[in-house]
Chain A
């Protein structure tokens, strides 16, 4: 009888664990929906509100996504339709030579280490299907030509990665062909929406915006009373009572800001800054409780939905009879105004070219849209010496500035915020060159990814930004991260708490509000957060 030939492994061999991932071609590894990496599926009530297809209860981690039987046909028809309609989409499908220049520029790839987050590969998820159904080479040679069938696994993979791209466009800065991978994500999301597969975090604000005018679905009296509460705080800080007007016909200017500024912390402090500035200037402006949202989550759903939601700002401007529109600190609102508005709705000819009533400056850059960024407006005021400022009130802050993706890459807005900050703060420090301006790193939560359930993904995606903040925190003692975007204000606050807990987040106009010397104000002992200003504590504290 032959002896069984077994070899007892040595301890060293037993301890050897292979940590390397399985070696399979990327097209053959299906996605795994681990909690923390995805947003919840859109609830049917939100889809029904705006007539989106296939409303039903579903979750991405479930096997059955409850899609119509002909789902594949719908997606491929949708793809064909978009390839014919948008020349860029077809071009971006065809011209990539896979040089890899974009590969390591995505914050999600850098932070997650997942190769499918490389922009080139994320685009390849769609390109492979495009080749299979829309190119001769792909039809004939299949996998050898980089083509693959559209299967349920592939569709789920699309969904996973297209809701893991913030459409920040950093990759496009480095592409020698100028391919805008964000556009591919945008198309990918449109296709998922044809089957009713949006995230709840995006679909909810879309439905609320359509119905009530803002993301949270807040009604007019709630908006008004919240702004009045801010006025109470301002009175406590400055001794001055501000009485803003709402839906006032005949005002010169309509002011629109993201609703995050009305309710969220630290957005409300930015909003207090606006209120104080406009009061001090005696600006003839009004708030609207209908056009009560600068943000537009339709943009993260489909071009058509973005177009549909966007016009309310202009409809309200027309209804109230204002001359022009002033917009608050927001990110994607400005990208839409700057890059999409004229295509959607043509020049807003019923309004006048914006002219600052204080300095007389005509904002030629807003000649067509008639909408001016509040930071631009304030920079112009400072440039003309129209504001009395005491930057020492921000001396407890060492500030750095995060360029928001949409305002920097979407409209080249670099100098104005820095100019304002340097005039209202004495301590300003830049982050490293390859992390700011057009190369800025995203907060990791833009384009509707700022839900709470996908916290791991957000922390991964925001890591490159946080890493640069950590650097200025350690080198210069930076303790405040300023920005001009409502999603940034919310998302960076959380990001900092995980990666650089010493650093807080604020809008630029919070810093303006702190420094602004108002006519008839009492001596400031508190900043806009109602926190005592160092060295100016009230005497009773010494008892």
Chain B
């Protein structure tokens, strides 16, 4: 039996534990709500976390593909990038998975001599963490970009009147698509 099979067999237990430790990064009253409310529109954060960790977990099992895992990382990170977290706190949830896997599977891994494979899985978590850094930064950069864009849009007409926003492509020869 490979570690992948173990991870697949115990998927629900591991995901539930991961979800629980992730919720512990929120105040108690909040984590209670995030856990209890099942409606995805009343509890969009809880729902995004559930959806996100499930996709990330699958990606760890299958081998990391940036394109596939990114939307799931984005679901969670885009939220945590605007909540009251430092960057390390915002992304720390990924590393919590290592502890959860060891908690649930360590005995069996030792028994079956799958330590090397565990190392591979943990390396995949590290790879995903690197992708997560990129997504986190994109979110933060987007926030600053939005601030600048808003200021520009707010005074769009005034700038236009002052001939400050004329598009170069407008009626000018030599500019092609």
Contacts and interface: CB of A to CB of B under 8 A. Distances in A.
A111 B33 CA distance: 12
B30 interface: yes
A118 B99 CA distance: 32
Interface in A74-112: 103-104, 109-112
A223 to B, nearest CB: 10
Interface string B124-157: 0000000000000001001100110111011111
Contact of B83 (A112, A464, A497): A112
A262 B160 CA distance: 13
Instruction: Find the residue from B21, B82, B95, B153 having the highest chain A CB count within 10 A.
Output: B82
A490 B27 contact: no
Instruction: Find the residue from A229, A263, A468, A499 having the highest chain B CB count within 10 A.
Output: A263
A460 B84 CA distance: 10
Interface of B: 21, 24-27, 29-30, 33-34, 37, 39-45, 47-48, 78-79, 82-84, 89, 92, 95-96, 98-99, 102, 139, 142-143, 146-147, 149-151, 153-158, 160-161
Contacts of B34: 113
Given A103-B33, A467-B41, A455 B143 contact: yes
Interface residues of A, number: 49
Instruction: Find the residue from A15, A262, A432, A459 having the highest chain B CB count within 10 A.
Output: A459
11 contacts: A15-B98, A21-B27, A113-B83, A114-B84, A115-B29, A453-B147, A459-B82, A463-B44, A467-B41, A490-B154, A497-B149
Contacts of B27: 21, 113-115
A190 to B, nearest CB: 27
Contacts of A456: 82, 143
Contact of B30 (A37, A113, A497): A113
A494 interface: yes
A36 interface: yes
A259 B153 CA distance: 13
Contacts of B84: 34, 37, 112-114
Contact of B153 (A111, A460, A493): A493
Interface string A448-484: 0000110110011001100110010000000000000
Given A435-B41, A467-B48, A493-B153, 5 more contacts: A16-B99, A111-B79, A114-B84, A222-B158, A456-B82
Given A434-B39, A467-B44, A494 B146 contact: yes
Contact of B154 (A12, A264, A432): A264
Interface string A361-400: 0000000000000000000000000000000000000000
A225 interface: yes
A520 B48 CA distance: 52
B82 A464 contact: no
Nearest to B39: A434
A275 to B, nearest CB: 14
Contacts of A463: 44-45, 79, 82
A112 B44 CA distance: 11
A211 to B, nearest CB: 18
A118 B44 CA distance: 16
A112 B26 CA distance: 10
Interface of A: 12, 15-17, 19-21, 34, 36-37, 103-104, 109-115, 118, 222, 225-226, 229, 262-265, 268, 432, 434-435, 452-453, 455-456, 459-460, 463-464, 467-468, 471, 490, 493-494, 497-499
Nearest to A263: B157
Given A15-B99, A114-B30, A452-B151, A104 B42 contact: yes
Contacts of B160: 229
Nearest to A456: B82
A226 B159 CA distance: 11
B50 to A, nearest CB: 13
Nearest to B144: A455
Given A263-B158, A452-B147, A110 B153 contact: no
Contacts of B155: 263
B83 A460 contact: yes
Contacts of A459: 82, 143
A434 B30 contact: no
Nearest to B86: A34
B41 A452 contact: no
B102 A111 contact: no
Contact of B150 (A111, A114, A435, A452): A452
Nearest to B147: A452
Nearest to B145: A497
Contacts of A225: 161
Contacts of A115: 27, 29-30
Contacts of A20: 24-25
Given A34-B84, A113-B45, A463-B79, A494 B157 contact: no
Contacts of A110: 42-45
Contacts of B143: 36, 455-456, 459, 498
Nearest to A452: B147
Instruction: Find the residue from B24, B29, B44, B79 having the highest chain A CB count within 10 A.
Output: B44
Contact of B45 (A111, A226, A493): A111
A464 B151 CA distance: 24
B83 to A, nearest CB: 6
A19 B89 contact: yes
Instruction: Find the residue from A34, A225, A456 having the highest chain B CB count within 10 A.
Output: A456
Contacts of B79: 111, 463
Instruction: Find the residue from B47, B102, B149 having the highest chain A CB count within 10 A.
Output: B149
Contacts of A434: 39, 41-42
Contacts of A464: 41, 44
A109 B84 CA distance: 12
A102 B160 CA distance: 46
B161 A229 contact: yes
Given A104-B33, A262-B157, A463-B44, A494 B26 contact: no
B154 A19 contact: no
Instruction: Find the residue from A12, A456, A467 having the highest chain B CB count within 10 A.
Output: A467
A15 B122 CA distance: 13
Contacts of B99: 12, 15-16
A464 to B, nearest CB: 5
A126 B137 CA distance: 38
